[in-house]
Structure 1
Amino acid sequence: MRLNTFGIACSSLLMAASAFAALPKATALVEPMGMGYNIGNTMEVPENPTAWGNPLPTAGYIKAIKAAGFNTVRIPCAWYSHSDALAKDIAANGGTADNSTYKHVGKAADFTSPTIDADWLKQVKDVVDMIIAEGMYVVLNSHWDEGWLEDRVYEGTANPRSGSGDIANSSATVKARQAAFWSQIATYFKDYDEHLLFAGANEPGVNDPWGASGQWAFDNSRMQILKGYYDAFITSVRSAGGNNDTRTLIVQAPRTEMDNAPMLSTSWPTDPAGDGYMMAEVHYYPYQYSLMTADEDWGKQYYYYTGLSSTNDKEHNMGWNVYSKSIDNSALGTPNQIAKAFGELKTMFCDKGIPVIIGELGAIKRTGQITDAANLKLHLQGRALFYGEVAKNAKANGIVPYVWDTGAENDGNMTIITRQKGTYSILDPDVLNALQKAYGMEGNNKSNLDSLVNENEVPETAGGKGIEVTYKSVTSDSSETGTLRINLSGTAKDLSKYVGLEISMKGEVASAGPCTNAAKDCGEYGWTSMDFFMMTGGSWDWFDANVMEQADQQLDVSTFQTFQVKWTDFRTEPTGLTSVNAIGLNLYGTQVSGTITIDYIKGIKADGSTEIIDDFDKKPQLEGTASGKIVAIAGGTSRICMPSTTAAPKMLVNVQPGSVYATFNASKATHATAMLMNSMGQVIAQKSFDTHAGANEVQLSTSARGAAVLIVKIGSQKSVKQIKLR
């Protein structure tokens, strides 16, 4: 039967009459689909859809998407991590791999018939049903999900992740899993009508490593492997019965890059349903304008869109060429390039009866990087112009555009409609207005452009500038992370002349975090810790060290204090210091709220002298629970609520498969408790015990894997360690 705007609970008596009727062809869907919205960073999150800070979609959120003028929703979705395939792969590698990162798993098990968890299928169905109940269309895809398909568009032994070692891949195994997943998905949704479309992949091959000559070449041999994955997808859906016989299916260009679209066009898969029931997909993120967060020797970030150029920051205008010192009006993202590229898509696909979707598009909001008020206003106006230009050209060429939405509300976001606080308001009315006008709507949402400019304007001061970072938990019982990240470029990437890092900051360390759920006794489990981190080399190797473990040092509410972390203090001493991609701070915890102010980050030389790496004239990237702005550092107070770990005894932790051992010294005999919390803030193991003066040890057993926190409470003191269970 057809599930349409009349609701999901239509009588099953209609099923037999409509089950074999052909659905409308793909070309008939383009106009009613209109413009599209992505529910990003949610259903595609491996294993846990709320782990990246977004709640599960609600009916209120879906209604807000509809009310904003969108008529089709793309659901990026995970399947592999909600099946028994992940556990099989871990077992095939000795059971010691990190089960949350597929690149560490190594070889795939010879397991070609995975089963998707029934509860997960029901969870996805609930979201699909809410969208269709509003009369909208749904594109349900298979997203990155640990790279089980995307990172494995090759055959044999190769290196799909730089630095991870040679990994043998059988494309036949991937193809069989693709068939198994889509057979189950299509069977589950077989009675849904043309309002539900399936997309076989996301960005296949996009995660190949960069080398001396760029990313791996996506040549014809790899295209044929990818085509095999699409053949498995198409055949499985068409064989699943019901309305799947003529359901519209979507396949992606390699990496969903427009430049690779001709490769898909010349290797277009055969559809048993005949011509007219498929679409092609590309994504559109002009890198220097949409995603780039640090200037490089080869090119600058583009802050200001064509037609709204800055006169005193010319190097960041759209199309600026660092070699010719001039503007290239055909650069990626310019109106000329958009018109040309979208016209080519029309000729290549649409004119042949194959509609195209721009499955993702967007540009980050740079309210922290631009401190000049006039330039910030130009940037914000330009973002709206860019979105409108993309939507206008999409509509003119018979292409369906889907804006990407992260759910985040801090600097760097691409969010239009809020959802993390349960208030489904318009976060970016200027961008929404531009989109609506491109589709013939009024676009009269009240602008917040001036308020954003005023909010981010920084007064000049003799004392210099700093970054004020506010941390606020979204949930009361889940582990969350607030990230301050500085992307390095040019000569700043070489930190080999230093022996460590120094940070100056002020705030206050409290003994407990606030519980945001008054109905739950969760105050006992509030915890926070702060780490320096860095990522180095071509494989972006990760290194971190706890800032707050230094004896006799803790944050002060009104006075800046310095904290030093040497390379030898890192959990694993960093390598690749001649090529450091980023440094920053991660604040981990539950029930976190408050603000700290950071004056600078310096490098420490061997002779003890220091020099500035970043003094926050421009705001760094802020993610997760962290948001903030550039401030004058003179005066003011700040506070962050987090349990102190400095007064508690230092704890050494040894993680073994199935067990965690902690050793520490106690000054006297007292009562103690040990507790393990997973990344959702759930207690997975705990034990009460008595200490004695001197060395002590406690062991906790668990079958859980992945990120966890060990909390040992000794009397009134707490020691906290982040660990990975094996």
Structure 2
Amino acid sequence: MKRIGMFGIACGAALLATTSAFALPKASALVEPMGMGYNIGNTMEVPENPTAWGNPLPTAAYIKAIKAAGFNTVRIPCAWYSHSDALAKDIEANGGTADNDAYTHVGKASDFTNPTINAAWLKQVKDVVDMIIAEGMYVVLNSHWDEGWLEDRVYDGVAASPRSGANNIANSAATTKARQAAFWTQIATYFKDYDEHLLFAGANEPGVNDPWNGTQWEFDNTRMQVLKSYYDAFITSVRSAGGNNATRTLIVQAPRTEMDMAPMLSQNFPTDPAGSGYMMAEVHYYPYQYSLLNKDEEWGTQYYYYTGLASTTDKTHNMGWNVYSNSIDNNALGTPNQIKKAFGELKTMFCDKGIPVIIGELGAIKRTGQITDAANLKLHLQGRALFYGEVAKNAKANGIVPYVWDTGAEDDGNMTIITRQKGTYSILDPDVLNALQKAYGQEGNNQSNLDSLVKENEVPETGNGKGVLVTYATKTTDSSETGTLRINLSNDSKDLSKYVGLEIRMKGSVETAGGCTSTDPKKECSEYGWTSMDLFMMTGGSWAWFDANVLQQADQELDATTFQTFQIKWEDFRTEPTGLNEANAIGLNLYGTQVTGTITIDYIKGIKADGTTEIIDDFDKKPQLEGIATGKIVPLSGSDAIKAVRVASSSKMLVNVRPGMVTASFSASKNAPAKATLMNSMGQVISQKNFTANRGMNRVELTSDYRGPAMLVVRQGSQQLVQKIMLK
């Protein structure tokens, strides 16, 4: 029997079932029509304000562009907690006020268990859902991170922070479960008459995170039972909400949504009151070294070039490069071999049992700012398309629905396919889209922009060095904006205690007032403008912030044509830095209104007590740029170039791996606190221990039920020992 939702394209937002007397199709029947999927990322999931991360609210034109690009299902990452009265309750529980800009989830949650979602927010979400369904597409509506109200709290009782056991935090699993039930009762009731085109997902990447430094804690079976209780609350609440919710397809996630942890979900899959066939499982796919890693580490390098398109001049960044054997591992995470094997295992584990799988997020960053050789950049861009196509091909072959992640950003490091921030809704990444379309039997004939991207980002090699050219351009006229150049410090550089300050070498000009930088013809420029330029750093597990006005403290003017060095001592910072042996990031912030300008930066150095300096970053690769700052790598030659030499550290330890246990023996130079960490191939913590290392030989043991490739890191102060291992 037909329902309104099955033939109601002409009915627009009225794709609703008139009765709940008939069961909706089972989940397996949705896989083929759902096809390949798209995420509207960094929008509806932004806490409190969906436009705060730079994206406009989705429009009908944007949704039509997604459909026209060949996608037939859209995932809406969505916030609920920060649009409810639970936010204010928790702020008050931490000594804040209800009008705080944002809730920092460091402290305790209140015992408030029955939150109410704002009615206007439900209507806003409904508008987006309706636009998608009106195009004949399917919608996965989830509960996303949203200040970590659930995803950072998959545990019960008190958990110790990895920061040397400090700042222990408590969580009541019963409270979190009650909130989960309350939210999904309201969501499901609101959408109860929607047909099978609307699916619900109970979480995003549920785990346990240290709220002070973002480190992920070990996820064991005890925490799996807590997560399962959250899923039980989700499922029971939806099934009890009436209408078509009785047989709506619901989706639950593997711990942290990691493929490696899919067996844990399979072994603890929740029971559905609707019976079998109305559930899906979700994992995400970001092969860490290829998809997300943005700096080389001692344990491994970034992967720039995909299998089959290896670089002959930059071998250490080829897919699967092993830093210990100096060779290629063709079964490394992200390779075609690994994708085929992993997706086949998902099929056996879930799909063959009537539980379809979605890859809720997948992608790989575009590294146009890191690769300055034209031939290698072209290999990288071609390889990204191969990667996306390989994932889509294997997903389709195994009855899995893949969803590409899209943030809307258009700068270096983006995963965006369709533009939306400028209102044009054009194809930003036609080569990736072509690969996806071809995997799903579509034409895939979008005009490639690969050659133009290579030309735009090509940096002529001079042999003398590189710098970063940063451009600042404010977008408003009546409020201060910030442009940030940020360096996330590598492990070798985290200890700044050996320095007495920082030195930055740069040239350029910045102008304020006098000229209007607004692109809005309805806004007039005011008659004033101001700017300041600050060096900053963040240190320690609490990411304490310190900054200093670089021009004011150095008592110098910025020169537009000649490089100058500016030195800032620790005592020049607004508050004297502490925790310098655990520095997380340094950088340059430009603040102001009506600001335009460009600056070229050659390096940032640390200043030693004897007056000598040492390179911290020489911008051979582009740093992270945020806010009103954009930029690219540029060559420096002649007197402009200063060749920088880095000193790499080397370390060794003896490691013994047994089933369920890893033992490391190493030598320490002093008596001091230390930390041993086991990380999986995604760079996520699977086991961790704080201990005191003594001068001389030491031994530390870690236990874990994890199986497969892992990285063991033992750190004492600035000393770090790293070894790649295989857990049994």
TM-score by length of 2: 0.82
Are 1:447 and 2:451 matched, yes or no? no
Pair 253,312 (structure 1): closer, same or farther in 2 beyond 3 Å: same
Helix, strand or coil for the counterpart of 2:199?
A: strand
Matched ranges for 1:355-504 at <5 A:
355-461=356-462, 464-473=465-474, 480-504=481-505
Secondary structure of the 1:509 match is strand
| Cα distance per residue 1:634-689 (max 9 Å; x no partner) | 69x9xxxxxxxxxxxxxxxxxxxxxxxxxxxxxxxxxxxxxxxxxxxxxxxxxxxx
Q: Which residue of 1 aligns with 2:209?
A: 207
Alignment-mate amino acid for residue 517 of structure 1? D
SS at match of 1:613: strand
Find out whether 1:6 has 2:7 as its counterpart: no
How much has 1:189 moved relative to structure 2?
1.1
Residue identity opposite 2:188 in structure 1: A
What SS does the corresponding residue of 2:511 show, helix, strand or coil? coil
RMSD (Å) for aligned C-alpha atoms: 2.7
Tell me the secondary structure at the aligned position of residue 402 of structure 1. Answer: strand
- Report which stretch shifted further, 185-194 or 543-552: 543-552
What is the CA-CA distance between 1:576 and the residue it aligns to? Answer: 3.2
Match in the other structure for 2:621: 618
Q: Tell me the amino acid that sits aligned with residue 198 of structure 1.
A: F
Following superposition, the deviation at residue 51 of structure 1 comes to 1.1
Task: Tell me the equivalent position of 1:184.
Answer: 186
Query: Equivalent residues in 2 for 1:43-62 (5 A)?
Result: 43-62=44-63
Shift of 1:540: 4.7
Contact persistence 2:474–2:517 (CA under 8 A): no
Aligned twin of 1:664: none
Aligned to 1:174: 176
Match in the other structure for 2:561: 558
Q: Give the total of aligned pairs.
A: 632
Mapped to 1, the partners of 2:453 and 2:281 lie a distance apart of 37
Residue 631 to residue 128, structure 1, CA distance change in 2 (3 Å): same
Secondary structure of 1:7's partner?
Answer: helix
Deviation at 1:560, TM superposition (A): 3.0
User: Does the CA contact (< 8 Å) of 1:420 and 1:474 recur in 2?
Assistant: no
Kindly indicate whether residue 581 of structure 2 is the aligned counterpart of residue 584 of structure 1.
Answer: no
Show CA shifts across 1:362-394 (max 9, x none).
111111111111111111111111111111100
Q: Which runs of 5+ in 1 are unaligned?
A: 638-726
SS at match of 2:510: coil
Q: Is the 8 A contact 2:208 2:219 kept in 1?
A: no
Q: Is the deviation greater in 258-267 or in 594-603?
A: 594-603
Give the Cα separation in 1 of the matches to 2:530 and 2:252: 45
Question: Which of 567, 572, 579 pairs up with 1:569?
Answer: 572
Which residue number in structure 2 is paired with residue 146 of structure 1?
Answer: 147
Report the Cα offset of residue 219 of structure 1. Answer: 1.2
**Within 2, Cα distance between the matches of 1:493 and 1:458?**
29
Question: 2:468, 2:634 within 8 Å by CA — same for their partners in 1?
Answer: yes
* CA distances 1:536-556 after superposition (whole Å, capped 9, x unpaired): 445655444443543743433
Residue identity opposite 2:69 in structure 1: A
**Amino acid in the other structure paired with 2:471:** T
Q: Secondary structure at the match of 2:576?
A: coil
Specify whether residues 607 and 193 from structure 1 end up closer, same or farther in structure 2 by C-alpha distance, changes over 3 A only.
Answer: same
> How far apart, in 1, do the equivalents of 2:462 and 2:200 lie?
56
Kept after mapping to 2: 8 A contact 1:141/1:200: yes
C-alpha separation in 2, matches of 1:110 and 1:161: 25
529 and 350 in structure 1: CA distance in 2 versus 1, 3 angstrom threshold = farther
1:305–1:15 CA distance, 2 compared to 1 (3 A): closer
- How far off is 1:625 after superposition? 3.2
Note if 1:23 corresponds to 2:24: yes
1:54-203 alignment, distance < 5 Å: 54-95=55-96, 99=100, 102-159=103-160, 162=163, 165-203=167-205
How far 1:200 sits from its partner (Å)?
Answer: 0.5
Shift of 1:206: 5.8
- 1:713 maps to which residue? none
Check if 1:518 corresponds to 2:559.
no
Q: Aligned pair in 2 of structure 1 residues 88, 310: CA closer, same or farther (>3 Å)?
A: same
Structure 2 letter corresponding to 1:533: F
Contact in 2 for aligned 1:370/1:618 (Cα 8 Å): yes
Maintained 8 Å contact 1:53/1:624:
no
Deviation at 1:471?
A: 3.0
Partner SS for 2:12: coil
Give the share of equivalent positions with the same residue, in percent: 83
Aligned-residue offset at 1:8 = 3.3
Structure 2 residue 290 is matched with structure 1 residue 289: yes
Partners of 1:41 and 1:526 in 2: CA distance? 31
Q: 1:304 to 1:298 in 2, by over 3 A?
A: same
| Residues 442 and 74 (structure 1), Cα distance of their counterparts in 2 relative to 1, 3 Å cut | same
Name the TM-score, length of structure 1 as normaliser. 0.82
Contact kept? 2:208, 2:217, Cα under 8 Å? no
Q: 2:608 maps to which residue? A: 605
Cα distance change on mapping 1:474 and 1:391 into 2, 3 Å? farther
Where does residue 532 of structure 1 map in the other structure? 535
Tell me, in whole angstroms, the C-alpha distance in 1 between the residues paired with 2:460 and 2:354: 57
SS at match of 2:568: strand
Judging changes above 3 Å, is the alpha-carbon distance between structure 1 residues 135 and 631 closer, same or farther for their aligned structure 2 residues? same
8 A contact 2:306–2:384 mirrored in 1 = yes
Counterparts in 2 of 1:9 and 1:486: CA distance versus 1, 3 Å: closer
Taking the aligned partners of 1:401 and 1:319, their CA distance within structure 2 comes to 23
Instruction: Report the CA distance shift for 1:383/1:505 in structure 2 as closer, same or farther (over 3 A).
Output: same
Change (3 A) 1:95 1:209: closer
Asked whether the equivalents of residues 483 and 623 of structure 1 are also in contact (C-alpha less than 8 Å), the reply is yes
Distance 1:585 1:153, change over 3 A: same
1:131-154 CA-to-partner distances (Å, cap 9, x unmatched) read: 111111111111111100011001
Question: Does 1:236 find its partner at 2:203?
Answer: no
Q: Report if aligned partners of 1:100, 1:146 keep a CA contact under 8 Å in 2.
A: no
Question: Partner of 2:647 in structure 1?
Answer: none
